[in-house]
Amino acid sequence: MAGVASKIRFRDPQVEMAHGAGGKASRRLIDGLFAPILFESIPAPLGDAAHVSVNGTCVALTTDSFVVRPLRFPGGSIGELAVNGTVNDLAVCGASAQALVVSYVLEAGLPTEILEKEVRAMAAAASRAGVVIAGGDTKVVEHGKADQMYITTSGIGHLIPGLSISPAAVRRGDRILLSGPIGDHGITILLARGELDLDADLRSDTRSVLPLVEALADAAGAGVHWMRDPTRGGVATSLNELAHDCGLGILLAEDSIPVRDEVRGACELLGLDPLHIANEGQFLAVVAAEHADAALKALRATPGGSEAAWIGEIAEQPAAAVLVTTRYGGGRIVDMLVGDPLPRIC
C-alpha cells in the first residue's frame, strides 16, 4: 500500500549465483526484497505468470530471461528455450500464449552467424508453439561484459476456459502428475559444458507443454488444482514451493518418478539428486483424485505425453514439506535446492 514502509527481510550482503539458481536463495530474494517493494498490492503467493485485468478481460502476463551456456546443446539452443520457457510459464498458469516480445543483450564480437541461428531457432519454436513474436529490442554491451548473448522474452496469453489454478485449491488426497521423465535438460547442459569427460545419449527436453496442458484441461477441467514447470531447482523445488504455499504435505513414491537411465547414471556419478535437476519441457499438475484416471489417460494419449505418470499425492503430513518414500519402506525429506547443484567427491 502506498505510504506504508515495506519491510525488507533480505539480509544477504551481496548477490550470489545461488540467488539465481531457483532454489531457497532465489525465493528469499523474491519474498524478502522484490515482493515487499514491487508487489505489495498483489496477494501472495506468486506464480509463474501474473493475471492482469485489461478493460475487464483477464489475461496472463509473464517474462523470463535466458543466460544458458553453451548457447547450443543436444536437443535445443538458447533461442528455442527462450520461446518455450515463456510459453510454458503461461501454460502452467492456465493460459495459452498469444504473443511474445523479445529483448536481446548481445556482446560485441558475437558472430552474426550465431545470432542468426538463434533468431531462426526462435522463429521455428514460435511457429511450433503457435505463438506470434510481435516485437523486440536489442542492446549491445562491450566485449567481455556479457557471455555472448542473453535473451529475455515476455508473453501474454488468454486464460484456458474451465481452469482455475491456485495452491489454495489443493486438497488432501489430490494426486500429483508428472508429464514425463525428469532431469534431461539439466544433465544435458552439464555434459555439454565438456568439463566432465562424460558422454551420454541425452537431449534437452525443451518443448512447449501447452498441448499437454490443454489435453489435461479438457479431461479434468476444474479438477486441475495447480501446475508448475519444474525448471531450475527441479521437481523438488517446485513441489516444496507448493507445500510451502498450501501448508500441506507432499508424498512422492520414488519408484514412480520417471528418470532415464542416462540421467540416473550421471546423477549417481556426480552425487546429484534428479529431483533437483532442471527441466525445460515437463510440468507437474495436482489433480483431484476423482479426475486422476481421466487426466492421466488424456495426457498419455497426447503426442509427447506417453511417459506421463502419477508420482505421489497430497497429505496432511509432513506439513509444508516433501517426503519421498522408497519401495522398501524408507523415506527422506527432499528440500529445495540450496544454491546450484554441486557434485560430491566421494
Binding site for another protein (CB under 8 A): 14-18, 24-25, 195-197, 249, 251, 261, 264-265, 268, 271, 273, 315-318, 321, 323, 325-335, 338-339, 342-346
Measured CA to CA, the distance from residue 206 to residue 76 in angstroms comes to: 7
What is the CB-side half-sphere exposure of residue 185 using CA atoms within 13 A? Answer: 29
Min dist. Cβ of residue 327 to another protein (A): 4
Residue 278 or 299 with smaller CB distance to another protein: 278
Considering the complex, what minimum distance in angstroms separates the CB of residue 160 from another protein? 34
Cis upstream peptide for 181 (omega within 30°): no
Query: Which of left, alpha, beta for 339 (phi over 0: left; psi -120 to 50: alpha)?
Result: left
User: CB of 206: closest distance to another protein in angstroms?
Assistant: 25
Q: Give the shortest CB-125-to-another protein separation in angstroms.
A: 31
Cβ proximity to another protein: between 251 and 289 the closer is: 251
**Which residues sit opposite 54 in a β-bridge?**
57
Contact (CB, 8 A) for 131 and 211: no
Rounded Cα–Cα distance for residues 338 and 345 (Å): 18
CB nearer to another protein: pick between 68 and 97: 68
Closest CB to another protein among 50 and 338? 338
Strand partners, 66: 151
DSSP β-bridge partners for residue 152: 65, 103
Comparison of 24 and 291: residue with beta carbon closer to another protein: 24
Q: Tell the smallest beta-carbon distance from residue 272 to another protein (Å).
A: 10
